[in-house]
Structure 1
Amino acid sequence: MLRSLALYTSLLIAANAAVAGPVDWQAARDAGLPKLIESEAVPVPEIEFTDLDGGTHRLADWKGKVVLLNFWATWCAPCREEMPSLDALQKAKGGEDFEVLTVASGRNTEAAINRFFQESGVTDLPTLTDPQMALARAFGVMAMPVTILIDAEGREVARMTGDADWSSPAALALVDQMLAE
């Protein structure tokens, strides 16, 4: 009972935009994102990646926004579990100040990516790809899924290996805190 009260209290504090300041990473872990690890704030790599329409991108294209960058693959079972919550987070918070970017890393055909999104009910996420895994390697991604949180200045500030419920109150509060910084 006391533990539940502490978790809900930390979640409430984290969600309160009036308590602007540094992100409370421990509160986020306690509230439901236990594998989240704070990173030393370092600039993200300037590696090109693509989309299914043939366009090229760099993470600098999103500078000025908080970005939740997710590396995934069509063959990844935890990715299949996680993707609907990433889509829900984009629907709830995506816009001028925040974006969820999902990057299919490695050999993922266009047909497989489209099928994966359709079967998962994903409608609001971009179809970005990193076929040679250059971006994933630059971030040191060794398994999937991996999610990197990037601040509005274009620096990695936290990461999580493994799947999570990104539409949970803990994740929503974390995004609110990052936006209030």
Structure 2
Amino acid sequence: MRKFLSAVLYTALAFGANAQTADTEALEALRQGDMQKLVFSDAPQPVPEAVLLDAEGAEHGLSEYAGRYVLLNFWATWCAPCRAELGSLDRLEAALGGEDFAVVTVATGPNPVPAIQKLFAEEGITRLPILRDTRQAFARAMGVLGLPITVLIDPEGREIARLIGDAVWDGPEAQAIVAALIAGRS
């Protein structure tokens, strides 16, 4: 597995993919496993600004992540596939999160803070933010019709790809795509 991951990451870096220059062919070549469900946009569209509440009720927006690639995941506490992929999202943030990339999870709809905190504690989620879209206004603006939905946003705040359903986000396939995006910024 380690050799496979190294080979995939090397390939990603070699491609030097850069979504800013619409080099989706190189990224498409990296779509393996669960990432085959990731659909890249031919014409990236701006993501609407969001008003998201944290666990204490303070307001946040995606503008806090400007200048980075963002893997934006819509989920809910009652959604079994959502719950199943949270651990891999947390591990992806641990592996690649930083100045160039962030995993942002948004609990959409009525998700009580104690239920989110309990789930995060049970699953060992320590790196993901608790952000809520309680009235689903942001989810509706983003065209989220089911859960989970994950959207890849470029540093300019445009949607460049979308994956419907759950996925293994800490696997070598997802890491290769993110690594290629980050490498393209250099």
- TM-score calculated relative to the size of structure 2: 0.86
Deviation at 1:178?
1.2
Amino acid of the residue matched to residue 28 of structure 1? L
Q: Is the 8 A contact 2:27 2:180 kept in 1?
A: no
Query: Secondary structure at the residue paired with 1:34?
Result: helix
- TM-score calculated relative to the size of structure 1: 0.89
**Separation in 1 of the partners of 2:15 and 2:31?**
18
**Separation in 2 of the partners of 1:130 and 1:19?**
36
- 1:38 pairs with one of 37, 40, 52: 40
Deviation at 1:163?
0.5
Deviation at 1:97?
1.1
**Separation in 2 of the partners of 1:94 and 1:12?**
16
- 1:111 pairs with one of 111, 114, 136: 114
Amino acid of the residue matched to residue 78 of structure 2? W
- The yes-or-no answer on 1:84 pairing with 2:81 is no
- Consecutive unaligned residues in structure 1, runs of 5 or more: 1-6
- The yes-or-no answer on 1:146 pairing with 2:149 is yes
Deviation at 1:49?
1.3
Query: Secondary structure at the residue paired with 1:100?
Result: strand
Q: CA RMSD in A?
A: 2.0
Query: Secondary structure at the residue paired with 1:177?
Result: helix
Percent identity between matched residues is: 49
Give the structure 2 partner of residue 102 of structure 1. Answer: 105
**Separation in 1 of the partners of 2:15 and 2:163?**
24
Aligned residue pairs, count: 174
**Separation in 2 of the partners of 1:126 and 1:172?**
20
Query: Secondary structure at the residue paired with 1:29?
Result: coil
Deviation at 1:55?
1.7
**Separation in 2 of the partners of 1:14 and 1:146?**
27
**Separation in 1 of the partners of 2:32 and 2:11?**
11
Give the structure 2 partner of residue 19 of structure 1. Answer: 15
Query: Secondary structure at the residue paired with 1:157?
Result: strand
Deviation at 1:167?
0.3
Give the structure 1 partner of residue 161 of structure 2. Answer: 158
**Separation in 2 of the partners of 1:28 and 1:107?**
36
**Separation in 2 of the partners of 1:28 and 1:19?**
9
Deviation at 1:177?
1.1
- The yes-or-no answer on 1:171 pairing with 2:174 is yes
Q: Is the 8 A contact 1:64 1:152 kept in 2?
A: yes
Amino acid of the residue matched to residue 8 of structure 2? L
- Consecutive unaligned residues in structure 2, runs of 5 or more: 18-22
**Separation in 1 of the partners of 2:79 and 2:136?**
15
Provide Cα deviations, 1:20-73, integer angstroms capped at 9, x if missing partner: 132434223235412111123111101211111222122122110110000000
Q: Is the 8 A contact 1:25 1:36 kept in 2?
A: no
Give the structure 2 partner of residue 3 of structure 1. Answer: none
